[in-house]
Structure 1
Amino acid sequence: MLLTKFTHACVRLEQDGRLLVLDPGIFSETATALDGANAILITHEHADHIDAPPVLSALAANPALTVHAPAGVAASLRDAAPEQAGQVLDAAPGDRFTAAGFAVQCFGGQHALIHPTMPIVANLGYLIDDDVYHPGDSLIVPDGVSVGTLLVPVHAPWSKVSEVVDFVVSVRAPRAFQIHDALLNERGLGFTESHIARIGEAHGVKFRHLNPGESVDI
């Protein structure tokens, strides 16, 4: 499986000519990420995880393309493009389905708390092919499974470094790569990633930084 990192929280998975895209948001190279996509997974409704106009354009251009998202996000997409409503499917915690030929399991259910005055929205973590886990905007540890490749939200308004490190240690995947990094400058990112790499290594996790557009075989 080939994993390609795009800016912020967007990644693309390719295998045997099948292409799955996760969280193509406004900070990402959305049009490039979606080029040739067979399916899209959206973790939650925030714009840095879904850039709706290019997603809707991709649906219109490819009737075989499907989007899987929490019910509220899916409903918004169907309202915006009734002609493509059949291509947009609800996803919920505990669901299992196939997207672009990849096996998908859904975990979590809620976005991490940003502040008590701000509403908590639905958020799903996705485990793909019993290997790659994208938690969206949460630090939910998937239960009952072993994760091979962890995508780590290294910085957010809702997290702190100790929580991110504890998440990495708890999941204990042998491989880990950063996501949700667009709000950090180079110094801040290096500081945070050094803690993740050092403490993660002590628990058997090999953390590696991926630049936007960089791909790795997993």
Structure 2
Amino acid sequence: MLLTKFTHSCVRLEKDGTSLVIDPGSFSEVEEALEGTNLVLITHVHPDHYDAKRLTAALAGNPELTIYAPRSVIDELTEASGEAADRLHTVTADATLSLGPFEVRTFGGQHALIHPLIPTVDNVGFVIDDTVFHPGDSFTVPHGLTVPTVLVPLHAPWSKMSEVIDFIIATRATHAYQIHDALLSDIGFGVVEKQVARFATMYGTEYRHLDPRESVSV
């Protein structure tokens, strides 16, 4: 399976001639990521993970496009696009989906706390083929399995470096690649990734930085 990283939290997975995109948000190259893709997974409703305007346009331009997301996203897209339910599907945690050649398992359920006065939203993490885990905006660790490749929210208003490190340690992944990184400068990457990579190695995880549009086999 081929994984391509786009800006921020957007990734594309390709397998057996089919591609699947997770979190094509407002910080990402949405149209490029979606090119040739009929399957989209969205972890939660925040615009850096879900660009409503561009996804509505994508639905209009591609009659085969199908989207799976928490209810808040699906309700908004249904109203904006007028699409029938067979193209827009609500997902919750602890479910299994068969999407073409991909087997998808869902975990979590809630966005990480930003501040007690800011309401949380639904957030669903996706495990693809028991091989790749995209947690969205959470440090949820999938229960009942160890996923070899984990996408790590590297920097966010709701996290601190110690939580990022502890998340990697808890997953026991073989490989880790960064997501949720659009707010970091080159200097910031150097500071954060130096510590993240050091502790990941101590616990048997290889951490590697991926630039936008860089691909890796998983």
> Percent of counterpart pairs with the same letter?
54
Q: 1:139 to 1:187 in 2, by over 3 A?
A: same
TM-score computed with the length of structure 1 as normaliser: 0.98
Residue number in structure 1 paired with 2:45 = 45
Aligned amino acid, residue 113 of structure 1: L
Query: Secondary structure of 1:47's partner?
Result: coil
Residue number in structure 2 paired with 1:141 = 141
The Cα of 1:163 is off from its aligned counterpart by 0.4
Matches within 5 A, 1:5-44: 5-44=5-44
Take 1:100 and 1:53, find their aligned partners in 2: how far apart are those partners?
26
Take 1:14 and 1:30, find their aligned partners in 2: how far apart are those partners?
16
Q: Is there any run of 5+ residues in structure 1 with no aligned partner, and where?
A: none
Answer yes or no: is the 8 Å Cα contact 2:15–2:101 preserved in 1: no
Query: Secondary structure of 1:13's partner?
Result: strand
Take 1:100 and 1:199, find their aligned partners in 2: how far apart are those partners?
37
The Cα of 1:199 is off from its aligned counterpart by 0.5
The Cα of 1:217 is off from its aligned counterpart by 1.0
Query: Secondary structure of 1:125's partner?
Result: strand
Take 1:156 and 1:9, find their aligned partners in 2: how far apart are those partners?
11
Residue number in structure 2 paired with 1:161 = 161
TM-score computed with the length of structure 2 as normaliser: 0.98
The Cα of 1:84 is off from its aligned counterpart by 4.5
Q: How many residues align?
A: 218
Matches within 5 A, 1:63-82: 63-82=63-82
RMSD: 0.9
The Cα of 1:81 is off from its aligned counterpart by 1.2
Residue number in structure 2 paired with 1:173 = 173
Answer yes or no: is the 8 Å Cα contact 1:4–1:214 preserved in 2: yes
4+ runs deviating over 3 angstroms: none
Deviations along 1:145-200, whole A, 9 cap, x unmatched? 11011000000000000000000000011000000000010111111111111111
Q: Is there any run of 5+ residues in structure 2 with no aligned partner, and where?
A: none
Aligned amino acid, residue 180 of structure 2: H
Q: Does 20-29 or 64-73 show the bigger shift?
A: 64-73
Residue number in structure 2 paired with 1:200 = 200
